Structure 1
Amino acid sequence: MSAELTTIIDFIRYGASRFGRAGLTFGHSYDNALDEATQLVLHALHLQHDIGPAYGQARLVEEEKQAILALFQRRIDERIPACYLTGEAWFAGLSFKSDPRALVPRSPIAELILSGFEPWLGGRSVERALDLCTGSGCIAIATAHYHPHWQVDGVDISDAALALAAENVERLDARNVRLLKSDLFAGLQGEVYDLIVSNPPYVTDDETDALPQEYAHEPELGLRAGPDGLDLVLKMLRDAPVHLSDNGLMICEVGESERHLVRLLPELPLAWVEFKVGQMGVFVVERSDLVAHAASIKVLADARR
């Protein structure tokens, strides 16, 4: 079979066809078979992801072909997300180390980072920012990279995730990032930020149980968040005002749990971000609005385990 496949393009096409036939699920940084096949082929050949299209017709030697086919087979047999097979994920234009210690970086918040969080910041000054539930560190590190004068804290409860984030801090020389272990805000007494950003666990219990096999390779701690996906988010909304400066802003991703949040807190003025591909369940809220609705938020949050 490998004799019939000769070029880089041949193998990318072949991989995409095999992935489609195998019924794989895509959603870990790449959302389709062709992009995942491209990622695996270039990784096996030790080529950069931005290689010119002219190289697509390059002919491969047998050793290279076998390396590619072995990766394809693992992707199909074990349902491992491609980023875990390559050990690399791209987020906000930066290359992060990716492995099962944390979710594969894929938040739409990357688009906000690249836009400087505008128009939501409205030009307000930011000195300190927090990435709550930082996981691999991708949001904290990317924010720090594009805003070198900001001091950015990345917080997580998982030692494994924080270890991976520390490797990414070193990988990208993010000297203005500090990593801290904390259960949400519990270990951040006295810390105040101008901007809090978070991509927390927000998948409902039913949805977590029904996820395709690819997601089983990710830590469940980063996904499962109760019957409506809001166990952590409600606590964050309750406690955030203490850690936001007077003119502070919070940006949070809740995905499909958006509908549950709107139902529970219909009076809370949440602005839902419109991304290039549409709404993705990311809201923006002012500290002042969290304070104004603190009583109703507290009742809901205190009822969570």
Structure 2
Amino acid sequence: MVDQQAELCTELVSVRDFIRYGASEFNRAGLYFGHGTDNAWDEAVQLVCAAISLTGFDNPAILDARLTHSEKLAVLDYFARRVQQRLPAAYITRHARFCGLDFYVDERVLVPRSPIAELIEQGFAPWLTEQPDYVLDLCTGSGCIGIACAYQFPDALVALSDISADALAVAERNIDEHDLAHRVQAVQSDLFAGLDGQCFDLIVSNPPYVDDEDLADMPAEYQAEPEIGLGSGLDGLDFTRRLLAEAPDYLNDGGLLVVEVGNSAAALADAFPLLPFTWVEFARGGHGVFVLTREQLVAG
């Protein structure tokens, strides 16, 4: 291994060389991509940039820049971990982007990737017609959805709730890194139990929604993520059933509920035929996100 590493450090010189090598290694290893990139080349770019402390290649000349020996070793270490451990790249770099913002992530939380980002950037239009005063990010994980909402709605108070103390430690770190502790709070809660009867104008949730069969069949990269953030029973709806039953009591009049259920969307629609789900269509891809008002929840 040491001899091979030394040989690679001699043969590979430029940023471009390492990206090409990494992409080839990832393809040869049959890696799965779905945590921020969808192909081997972009995955290699992400890891090389992180290893040499660059945010991107605004100047194309960077591609032909030579790496120092220590930088080469750092890149090769990232590549080896990606191939051998099948870790999502974000767990290796401890960094993910969501809604154009930077977030710390590690194995205690899911890697941010929800299509809800597109809704946040649009201010949840056309369903949300007024700026919310109180926002809840339910099952917050890293806190990325709630923190992005705090940027979108600069006057709102935002609660980030999760049942996992480990996840909340990550969310609290991100609150601090974004300097939002004055109006964003992390709360440990099993659904609404720890929220002290608070009511919200907007509840956004990317809860666990993977059914048992899909969970067992997931690629290794997804198996590296915390199961508590993924699996939700036989049909993937254990959590969402509870959420729909309890949400009306925690939404203000005119309040909006936005929930991602992914591939469990069809099962949800079948289970609640009287609820008038609006399924969001995304310009940048993604599916399985519904919108309901408080009034629709109560009527249904």
Same fold (TM over 0.5): yes
Give the SS at the match of 2:54. Answer: coil
Q: Where do 1:64-143 residues align within 5 Å?
A: 64-121=71-128, 123-143=129-149
What is the CA distance between 1:51 and its match in structure 2? 4.1
Q: Which stretch of structure 1 is more off in the superposition, 230-239 or 180-189?
A: 180-189
Q: Larger deviation: 8-17 or 88-97?
A: 8-17
**Does residue 1:192 correspond to 2:190, yes or no?**
no
CA distance in 2, matches of 1:30, 1:48: 15
Q: Which residue of 2 aligns with 1:274?
A: 281
Give the aligned residue type for 1:235: R
Quick one: which of 5, 15, 20 aligns to 2:22? 15
After TM superposition, give the deviation of residue 217 of structure 1 in Å. 1.8
1:242 aligns with 2:249: yes
Q: Deviations over 1:120-169 (max 9, x none)?
A: 21x22411010000011110111112221011111000000001100000
Q: Compute the RMSD of aligned alpha carbons.
A: 1.3
Query: So what's the TM-score if we normalise by structure 2?
Result: 0.94
Unaligned runs of 5+ in 1: 294-305
Tell me if structure 2 keeps the 8 A contact 1:272–1:279: no
2:176 maps to which residue? 170
* Equivalent residues, number: 292
- Counting aligned pairs with the same residue, the percent is 53
Q: Indicate if the aligned counterparts of 1:148 and 1:176 stay in contact, CA closer than 8 A.
A: no
CA contact (8 A) 1:196 1:251 kept: yes
Deviations 1:90-122 (A, max 9, x none): 01101100101111111111111111111221x
Kindly provide the CA deviation profile for residues 236-256 of structure 1, in whole angstroms up to 9, marking residues without a partner as x.
Answer: 011000000110110000000
CA apart distance, 1:266: 1.9
Q: Which amino acid aligns with 1:135?
A: G
8 A contact 1:169–1:177 mirrored in 2: yes
Deviation string 1:181-214 (CA, Å, 9 cap, x unpaired) is 1100112232000000000000001111111111
Letter in 1 for 2:110: L
Aligned equivalents of 2:212, 2:105: Cα separation in 1: 25
Q: Tell me, which stretches of 5 or more residues in structure 2 are unaligned?
A: 1-7
TM-score (norm 1): 0.92
